[in-house]
Amino acid sequence: MGHQIIIVGAGLAGLSAAYELVRAGLDVQVFEAQQRLGGRVYTVQLGAGQYGDLGAEFVDENHTAFKAYVAEFNLKLDPACQFPDDLYWFFDGRLYNRKSLNNEQGVALDNLYTDLQNLVDNQQDPLQTLDEWLDERAISAFGRRIAKLQAHSLFATDPELIGPGFFAYPGVQGSFNMRVRHGSSSLVNALAQRLGKRVHTNSPVRRIQQTDDTISVTVETENSAVEVMADIVLVTIPWSVLRHIPIEAPLVDAQREAISSLPYGGVVKTLLQYPYHFWSQPNFGIVLVEGNYHAIWEPTFAQIGTNKILSCFSGGTPSLDLTDQASDLAVATVRAIYPDAPETISSYSYNWSTDEWAQGAYCYFRPGDLHRFNPLLTMPAGRIFFAGEHTAPVEYRGYMEGAIRSSQRAVQQILNFLY
């Protein structure tokens, strides 16, 4: 029998890593705490055969690793938005896109993005929050407004928390983005089908211990806790969850600090289904808005039927206050933009901060932590390896592409270690 590998977590990183390790001839077992597979990839069905993603959704044109799996599993990608035309801001009762900004607003936006690009080009990670950095750079009121809104809507956190060094990396890359036909969970299902009985649901990992050349993992089953032995463990769950699992292994102190303190943004995502298209623009695009929710888009652009769904995204501290009012506040946000919006047919909300096995949406970095933690995120600890969007190249964090790229890197690390 080949080397035995345990993978903690059956999100996209865990499943794709398992798939590649099995193809490499290794004996793999995946343990997932929930009954549902996919982690922060979560497609749900609404009425009239329509669907929406409560978790990860967008695929950019440079997401080559993700698109390779789409081709391999005969999945399809549908068009979503063209940029910059389909990116809107709703300010002071008006919709703006790049073409409709006045000269002063356009210059302010260009100056903001130039200053941010300089941070990336010079690999700077200032010891200031985004809010403090905007003050120091004397960014115009309009530029500040855009930056703060993007902190909530793209990074799922607050400008008073995120470091500008991380915020500077672009949230949308390329001239267009796409969605997986039938939802992002289609790829999760395709991977899970190939893995079969190697994936164990309702099996949370409660402890990881390395002793010499063996790893012991304590797995909670329906009846009792069992010890499972392996040569290698690959941990793919968010560190917001991992920090609550005892790890007895040669982690350096800086790794333990990163695991214990890497922050995750809060997100509530609400799907509102309407009886028909009622907005003015042909493609709803992505509308960034101030208030309880910070971004709205239409996931049914390429779906059949006259019904339409709007996806409403709330990020950062405001998302923590939505509780059981999420759907009503989402409806109110849409009506602030379109007062004549009809009554909804159905709705579905999900709060990622209250999900026991996510405890947040995706990672972000506080001032100075991008440089401080980055070398630690991909570093193995003895026979324990790490994957997940938080360990991906910086520009892919928070994306499904990042989850897959992180698993590809971790698989190569494991193969190099074993052979």
Return all residues near 1 (Cβ < 8 A) that are at least 6 apart.
Answer: 27
SS3 151: helix
Query: How far does Cα 63 stand from its chain's mean position?
Result: 14
Strand order in the sheet with 232-235: 199-200, 27-31, 4-8, 232-235, 384-386
Q: How confident is the model at residue 282 (pLDDT cuts 50, 70, 90)?
A: confident
9, 127, 230, 247, 278 from 202: Cα distances, Å:
11, 42, 20, 20, 42
Name all contacts of 194-198 with Cβ < 8 Å and 24+ positions apart.
194/19, 194/22, 195/15, 195/18, 195/19, 195/22, 195/28, 195/30, 198/18, 198/22, 198/28, 198/29, 198/30
pLDDT for position 172: 59
Using CA atoms in the order 356, 45, 310, 13, what is the torsion angle rounded to 10 degrees? 50
211, 250, 274, 301, 316 from 43: Cα distances, Å:
40, 38, 18, 16, 22
pLDDT for position 382: 95
Does 294 score more than 90 pLDDT? yes
- Can you give the pTM of this predicted structure? 0.96
**Alpha carbons 238 and 33: distance in angstroms, whole number:** 12
What tens digit of pLDDT does each residue of 305-321 get?
A: 999 999 999 999 999 98
Pairing of the two strands 94-97 and 87-91: antiparallel
Taking residue 399's Cβ as centre, other Cβ atoms within 10 Å add up to 23
Intra-chain end-to-end CA distance of the chain, in Å: 15
**Alpha carbons 391 and 387: distance in angstroms, whole number:** 6
pLDDT for position 280: 87
30, 77, 179, 213, 400 from 185: Cα distances, Å:
18, 13, 11, 36, 11
What tens digit of pLDDT does each residue of 92-146 get?
A: 999 999 999 999 999 999 999 999 999 999 999 999 999 999 999 989 999 999 9
**Alpha carbons 387 and 404: distance in angstroms, whole number:** 9
Rg (CA), the chain: 22
**Alpha carbons 33 and 58: distance in angstroms, whole number:** 25
| Mean of per-residue pLDDT scores for the chain | 95
DSSP-derived secondary structure letter, 207: E
pLDDT for position 204: 98
SS3 401: helix
Pairing of the two strands 4-8 and 59-60: unpaired
99, 111, 186, 353 from 103: Cα distances, Å:
10, 12, 44, 40
Cβ proximity of 397 and 7 under 8 Å: no
Cβ proximity of 265 and 320 under 8 Å: no
Q: Which helix (H) or strand (E) holds 45?
A: strand 43-45
pLDDT for position 324: 82
Share of the chain above pLDDT 70, in %: 99
Q: Which regions of 61-112 does DSSP assign to beta strands (E)? A: 77-82, 87-91, 94-97
pLDDT for position 222: 86
Name all contacts of 99-108 with Cβ < 8 Å and 24+ positions apart.
104/140, 104/142, 105/142, 108/139, 108/140, 108/142, 108/143, 108/146
What tens digit of pLDDT does each residue of 171-218 get?
A: 656 789 999 999 999 999 999 999 999 999 999 999 999 998 999 999
Mean pLDDT of the region 369-381: 95
* Tokens matching residue 202: 């309702």
pLDDT for position 173: 65
Q: How confident is the model at residue 1 (pLDDT cuts 50, 70, 90)?
A: very low
What tens digit of pLDDT does each residue of 230-243 get?
A: 999 999 999 999 99
